[in-house]
Structure 1
Amino acid sequence: MTDAPLAMGRKLLIAGGLLSSLAALLHIAIIFGGADWYRFFGAGEDMARMAEKGWLYPKLMTIGISAMLFIWAWIAFAGAGLVRKPPLLRTGLVIISSVYLLRGLILFPMLIFIPDDVSSFVVWSSLIVLVYGLCYTVGTWRAWPNLS
């Protein structure tokens, strides 16, 4: 049964990689969805207006975010043993876990200190990202012995 934590870590890292891939694909879809999609997914009115005017900035920013999310998925899949391991795999997984957790947990101080700024988008996106962070964090912790 000593392999059970490793198996759980592997499954959670695969889940994290799939979630990051899904988020990356969603960002690509937003580009094609246009200004209304930028608004719906919380990019802000400025980004939506720039998209309406055909500016390149929203597309480049969204492509950059999508590329980063695909890289994060690759790192999760590498931690699960599905693809080639990048250098500093453990470091990468810890950083990604931290970013996702911090992004998700920011909801709670916002609810306390600036509740008027907390939209429904902030709530549901924070909770979703918190799940991502938990997959990466617990997956990394459980798979740690195999990540070197």
Structure 2
Amino acid sequence: MTGLRNPALVAGGILSGAASLLHVACIIGGPAWYRFFGAGEGMATLAEQGSLTPTLITLGIATVLAIWAGYAFSGAGLLPRLPLLRTGLVVISAIYLLRGLVLIPALVINDGAVQPFVLWSSLIVLVYGLAYAFGTWTGWSSLAPRR
């Protein structure tokens, strides 16, 4: 293949893949990493106590993000076509965008003051959602099942 078929979906896949790896790094890094990345004191405390709960939750999130990266790369033509590709990309775009837009009610409810984690995570995820949505929109016809 010469050139990128869908640079926005490639970018979305890279972003989701990086987020997946970062979640795995939090498991390895332990309580300090959970605290640094804003997972909450409860998760960090559970990790300190040796509970499997933070590991299982974080591993679940990492797995979902890795699957989402696979869908982006499939949509970009870098991986074989995955089942329900269009539907998957639309749903992934919507989830990322809705999570990113949580920032708006958070700002309204809190009179413009939100926790740094809410601000930054919302802005970051909004970028992810825009990459997926733009890539899905621009590549819509090429994402159709082959007959």
- Return the TM-score normalized by structure 1: 0.91
2:80 counterpart residue number: 84
- Tell me by how many angstroms 1:114 deviates: 2.9
- Return the TM-score normalized by structure 2: 0.92
1:69 aligns with 2:71: no
2:108 counterpart residue number: 112
1:146 paired residue among 139, 142, 145 = 142
* Residues 50-96 of structure 1: per-residue CA shift (max 9 Å, x gap): 00011101001101100000000000000001101111100000000
1:38 counterpart residue number: 34
What letter corresponds to residue 60 of structure 1 in structure 2?
A: L
- Tell me by how many angstroms 1:131 deviates: 0.4
Structure 1 runs of 4+ aligned residues shifted over 6 Å read none
* Residues 95-115 of structure 1: per-residue CA shift (max 9 Å, x gap): 000000011111011101134
Identical amino acids, percent of aligned pairs? 58
1:97 aligns with 2:93: yes
Aligned-pair Cα RMSD in Å: 1.5
1:135 aligns with 2:102: no
Whole-Å separation in 1 of the counterparts to 2:47 and 2:136: 38
The structure where helix makes up a greater share of residues is: 1
Q: How many residues were matched structurally? A: 142
Gaps of 5+ in 1: 1-6
Whole-Å separation in 2 of the counterparts to 1:145 and 1:8: 16
Instruction: Summarize the Cα distance change of 1:8–1:131 in structure 2 as closer, same or farther, 3 Å threshold.
Output: farther
Whole-Å separation in 1 of the counterparts to 2:19 and 2:138: 24
Gaps of 5+ in 2: none
Instruction: Summarize the Cα distance change of 1:59–1:115 in structure 2 as closer, same or farther, 3 Å threshold.
Output: farther
More contact order relative to length (CA 8 Å, sep ≥ 6) = 1
